[in-house]
Amino acid sequence: MIDEELIALIDRVKKKDDSAFSTLVTEFRYLLYSVFSKYFGWYEISPDDLMFDVLSCFWETIVNYDEKRTSRDRVREYISNTLFQRVYNLLQSFHYKKKDYIHSNTAKDKNFNKVLAKIFLEDILEMLKKSFDVQSCKIFEEYYLNNLNQQEVARICGVSQSFVSIVLKKVKTFLEEKINVIQLLL
C-alpha cells in the first residue's frame, strides 16, 4: 500500500470509518504482533489486556497523525515509532504508577473490539492451516471464531469432546511456542 492510500485511510478513520480502521489493522498486523510480542510477559498484564492496549495505542496513533508535522513519505515510520513509544509509555505508567489507563471513548465503540479480534483470529487461523490438518483448523475456527463450546464443536465436527479438548490444547501450545520464538527474536 502506498503512502497516499495510507493517508486517505487515516483520514477516513478520523471520520469514524470502521472499515478503514480494519484495513489499517490488516495492513499493519505484523507491526501490531511485533509490539505485542515485545512487551508480552514483561509486565503483569493479561494477553487480552495487552492486545487491547496495543490496538488502542494504534488507534490513537492513527487519529493523532498530523500530515503537516510528518513528511508524507514517512507515514509508516511515524506509525511504527509512535506505536512502540505509546505502548512503552502506557506500560511504564501501569508498572510504576499502578494507574488505570483510561481508553478513549471511540476505542470503546461497539465494533472496535469485534473487528480487531476477528482479524487477529483469522490471521492465526491462516497460520494454523500451514501446520495443522483441516479438522484441527475447523475445531479452532468453530471454538474461537464462532464462539461455540466444546460440546457443540464436537457435535458439528463429528468427534468426541475429549478430542476437541486435546486439539485445542495442542493449538494453544503451538501458539505459545510461536510467541516465545518471536520474543527471543526481538
Range 42-57 average pLDDT: 78
Q: Per-domain residue ranges for the chain?
A: 3-99, 112-185
Q: For position 155, what pLDDT does the model report?
A: 94
CATH of 3-99, one of 1.25.40.10, 1.10.1740.10, 3.90.1150.10, 3.30.360.10: 1.10.1740.10
pTM: 0.50
Q: Which CATH class is domain 112-185?
A: mainly alpha
Q: Residue 1: pLDDT above 80? A: no
Q: Residue 98: pLDDT above 60? A: no
Find the distance separating the first CA and the last CA of the chain, reported in whole Å: 25
Closest-CA residue to 31 (of 89, 76, 90): 76
How confident is residue 5, by pLDDT bands cut at 50, 70 and 90? confident
